[in-house]
Amino acid sequence: MSLPSKRPLLIGVTGGIGSGKSTVCRIFEALGIPVYYADERAKWLVDHDAILKSDITRLLGPEAYDIAGRYARSWVAAQVFGNPELLLQLNALIHPRVYADTDLWARDYTGKPYVIKEAALLRAAGEGGNRLDKLIVVQSPLELRIHRVHKRDPQRTEQEIKNIISRQLSDEERIEMADYVIYNNETQLLIPQVLRLHETFLRTDL
Ligand code: ATP
């Protein structure tokens, strides 16, 4: 089976926990733009993709999957915790599969002017072979993010949220990679910012 030769533009949307990535993506979806939720899709691939499962088993051993073939997430997390080299090796297996899967997914939408890939961690467009044409960073004040996540996930303590934030990229690092920034604070309206970008992607030959 031959692949269609062209895929639409691929625009990344990233931001720290609670910045409003999913909210922004839901607005793009309301405009008819397909969104690939990479973190969820990566979880699915790790559970179901036969080649990836066998690569992960080769790297980490048979304990990486339980007898029902389900990914042993907590066990794997414990193995890579404090072992950055092993985490790098694991990511070196997962990331290329997600890139290839994104490509295949995007080729289903050749009629669309552009599609979106959402993930908590994305690199600058084109970096490390990531296939993104442009990157949008969603930026939101720290206190507001903590407040919104706490409201959305009441089971998480404020300290847990702060710990996650401390392990993520800083605002400065994300802004550095951005082609576009959406400010999701309480003074700038979100929808007009998304609409402006939508029009840019429709008009511009990027
Ligand atoms: P995560 O990294 O945890 O997936 P996220 O960056 O995707 O988070 P969202 O889930 O979009 O963030 O937003 C976090 C919470 O804040 C959600 O409950 C969402 O409804 C709320 N929220 C986001 N933006 C706004 C806004 N502009 N006005 C009101 N509520 C908002």
Helix (H, G, I), strand (E, B) or coil at 86: helix
- Ligand-binding annotation for 23, yes or no, is yes
Q: Which residues have CB under 6 Å of ligand 1?
A: 15, 17-23, 120, 148-149, 152, 184, 190
Atom of ligand 1 nearest to the CA of 25: 11
- Say how many Å lie between the CA of residue 112 and the centre of ligand 1: 26
Which residues does the chain have with pLDDT short of 70?
A: 1-5, 204-206
Pair 177, 137: CB distance under 8 Å = yes
**By CB neighbour count within 10 A (0-12 exposed, 13-18 middle, 19+ buried), where does 152 fall?**
exposed
pLDDT at site 5: 53
pLDDT at site 94: 95
Q: CA-CA distances (angstroms) from residue 137 to 29, 106, 122, 123, 178? A: 17, 20, 9, 10, 6
pTM, full prediction:
0.91
Which residue, by CA, sits nearest to atom 13 of ligand 1?
20
Which residue, by CA, sits nearest to atom 26 of ligand 1?
184
Radius of gyration of the chain (CA): 18
Q: Would you give the end-to-end CA distance of the chain in angstroms?
A: 29
The rounded distance, in Å, linking the Cα atoms of 190 and 169 is 23
CA-closest candidate to residue 131, choices 102, 107, 94? 102
pLDDT at site 131: 87
- Say how many Å lie between the CA of residue 17 and the centre of ligand 1: 8
Atom of ligand 1 nearest to the CA of 118: 7
pLDDT tens digits, 142-164: 999 999 999 999 999 999 999 99
CA-based torsion, 23, 29, 31, 33: positive or negative? positive
- Ligand-binding annotation for 110, yes or no, is no
pLDDT tens digits, 173-183: 999 999 999 99
